[in-house]
Amino acid sequence: MTLNEPSKKLLLVGAGGIGTNLVELLVAALRRVNLSGSITLMDADIVEAGNLGHQRYTQDDIGQAKVKCLAKRLDDEHSSLRVLGDAVNMRSADQLEGYDMVVVCVDRPEPRRLVHALEQPWLDLRCSGDGWVVLSSQSPSALLERMTPDHEPKSCQVDGALDAGNLEFGFAVAAAFGAQWALQQWRGHAVPAQSMGSLTYGALRFPEVNA
């Protein structure tokens, strides 16, 4: 089957629990329906032993740049969909230029705010424990500001959870949401706008904000 949707360029910022699972889902889906373009993975982090279990890396990847490991495994020079790795952190707006859509799934507010200022479609994916938050270019600006306060970087797993053997899968929900959004954007179809919830407690409501 060959579809006529145009080639697209996606920037995925963050190669942790959300980002690695998202790109695994998305690459397979895009190739299955013969969509063309590129996915650029941006993250300066190195694979550590603590990443294994909730991020898509192996023992052999430890000590290597995360995005280089993913690109090496997922890219195919014979495919019309390429997967590229850029082992840097996102620090400035000029790094976002040249893409049709951007997905940010990092644990810092500064890159999120840079993405929120874009005119092209974007998605902001977050998680903590078994919970997730999804915001997008369709979300109200007042809500984006309310939901993006200053804070220190933090893991998608609750403090002490991994040491206690209590791995939680909010990151997997956020990744699936992101893959669906990107696929629909690629095809020019309607996309999900925003979501917040918990695997334990179900859907959660966003705070009320003035438009």
**pLDDT at 180 (0 to 100):** 97
pLDDT tens-place string over residues 113-129: 999 999 999 999 999 99
Q: What does the pLDDT look like over 30-47, one tens digit per residue?
A: 999 999 999 999 999 999
Architecture of the structural domain at 8-203: 3-Layer(aba) Sandwich (3.40)
- The single residue listed with the structure tokens 């959300």 is 18
For the chain, the distance separating the N- and C-terminal CA atoms, rounded to the nearest angstrom, is 44
pLDDT score for 162: 64
pTM above 0.75, yes or no: yes
Query: What tokens appear for 25 in the block?
Result: 């889902």
Per-residue model confidence (pLDDT) at position 2: 46
Domain spans, the chain: 8-203
Residue 188 to residue 6: CA distance in whole angstroms:
9
